[in-house]
């Protein structure tokens, strides 16, 4: 009951938003002529763009390619990020020296890696995946480091007095204890990966959502640009809601958090 109510509220909100948007467009572009039609998108135009892209079978291909890259890049980032994170935990002295650098790399916008990517790998898949990797590895590494450091020391003490040591301490205590914050870290890593993907795709010319966006700009088709932005936002929300949130809830419930 409350869920349907929430959905209904949201639906009404978005319908009103679309209506207001179209009204604003009509008023400012068509009636008053304040804005140029090529610089201001409108819902009807976006809808038409959508129909064109679907008709030409460009949309699904672009979404497919982008998602594939994002997932590959993200999985690789998890791998390198977790290794780097463990390294930060394990070698405290080196970590002290490295952390500011990693923190800096994490805040560096991943678009900065695009020139390197193109020079090293050319205008291809590998270049984009490299940009994703650089964009999300450091964030994942830092959250792995933090998740492990924040494990309640009492759990580790208790496990030690019950005979756990070495690797067992990691697999049986530190990993499960740090899982909740680890999942949060991975979620953040994903959003970095998704942003980096767009940076990579806009700059290089492989098929994907970023390229579709650039194409929209080149064709001076502002409605298409808007459409791609909306699709990117919707995909982001869907992945967050249905993949991460579901995963989080299931795991955390199972683990009793």
Partner 1 sequence: MSLTIEHLYKHFPSSTRSTLEDINLEICEGEFICVIGPSGCGKTTLLNLIAGLELPTKGEIKLDGNAITGAGPDRVVMFQESALFPWLSVANNVKFGLKIAGKSKQEQEQTAMHYLKLVQLAHFKDYRCHELSGGMKQRVALARALALDSKVLLMDEPFAALDKQTRNMLRDEIQSIFMKTKKTVFFITHSVEEAVFFADRIIMLSVTGKVVSEFKVEFPRPRHIENPDFIELRAMLLKEIRKEVEKSAQSEYDNN
**Rule CB under 8 A: which residues touch partner 1?**
154-155, 157-165, 168, 172-173, 176-177, 179, 255-257
Smallest gap from Cβ 181 to partner 1, in A, equals: 13
Q: Which is nearer to partner 1, 68 or 157 (by Cβ)?
A: 157
Q: Which is nearer to partner 1, 94 or 255 (by Cβ)?
A: 255
Q: Which is nearer to partner 1, 15 or 158 (by Cβ)?
A: 158
Residue among 237, 184, 185, 189 nearest 74 (CA): 189
Helices 58-90 and 43-55 cross at an angle (nearest 10°) of: 90
> What DSSP assignment string belongs to 138-189?
HHHHHHHHHHHHTS-HHHHHHHHHTT--THHHIIIIIHHHHHHHHHHHHHHH
Q: Which is nearer to partner 1, 96 or 168 (by Cβ)?
A: 168
Q: CB of 73 within 8 A of CB of 121?
A: no
Q: What is the Cα–Cα distance from 75 to 220, expressed in whole angstroms?
A: 35
The rounded Cα 51 to chain-centroid distance in angstroms is: 26
Smallest gap from Cβ 15 to partner 1, in A, equals: 42
Smallest gap from Cβ 185 to partner 1, in A, equals: 17
Q: Which is nearer to partner 1, 181 or 206 (by Cβ)?
A: 181
> The tokens of 28 are what?
């400012």
Smallest gap from Cβ 254 to partner 1, in A, equals: 8
Smallest gap from Cβ 151 to partner 1, in A, equals: 11
Smallest gap from Cβ 251 to partner 1, in A, equals: 10
Q: Which is nearer to partner 1, 37 or 176 (by Cβ)?
A: 176
């Amino acid at each position: 009951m409350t869920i349907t109510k929430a959905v209904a509220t949201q639906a009404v909100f978005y319908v009103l938003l679309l209506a207001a948007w179209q009204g604003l467009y009509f008023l400012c572009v068509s009636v008053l002529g304040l804005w140029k039609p090529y610089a201001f998108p409108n819902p009807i135009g976006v809808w038409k763009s959508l129909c064109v892209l679907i008709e030409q079978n460009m949309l699904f291909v672009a979404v497919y390619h982008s998602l594939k890259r994002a997932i590959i890049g993200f999985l690789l980032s998890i791998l390198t990020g977790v290794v780097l994170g463990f390294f930060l935990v394990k070698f405290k002295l080196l970590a002290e020296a490295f952390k500011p650098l990693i923190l800096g790399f994490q805040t560096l916008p991943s678009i900065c890696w695009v020139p390197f990517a193109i020079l090293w790998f050319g205008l291809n898949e590998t270049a984009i995946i490299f940009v994703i990797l650089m964009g999300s590895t450091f964030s994942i590494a830092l959250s792995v480091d933090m998740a492990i450091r924040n494990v309640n020391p009492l759990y580790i003490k208790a496990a030690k007095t019950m005979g756990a040591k070495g690797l067992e301490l990691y697999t049986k205590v530190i990993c499960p204890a740090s899982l909740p914050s680890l999942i949060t870290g991975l979620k953040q890593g994903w959003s970095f990966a998704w942003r980096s993907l767009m940076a990579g795709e806009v700059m290089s010319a492989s098929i994907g959502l970023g390229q579709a966006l650039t194409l929209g700009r080149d064709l001076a088709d502002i409605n298409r640009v808007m459409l791609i932005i909306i699709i990117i936002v919707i995909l982001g929300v869907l992945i967050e809601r249905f993949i991460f949130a579901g995963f989080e809830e299931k795991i955390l419930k199972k683990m009793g958090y």
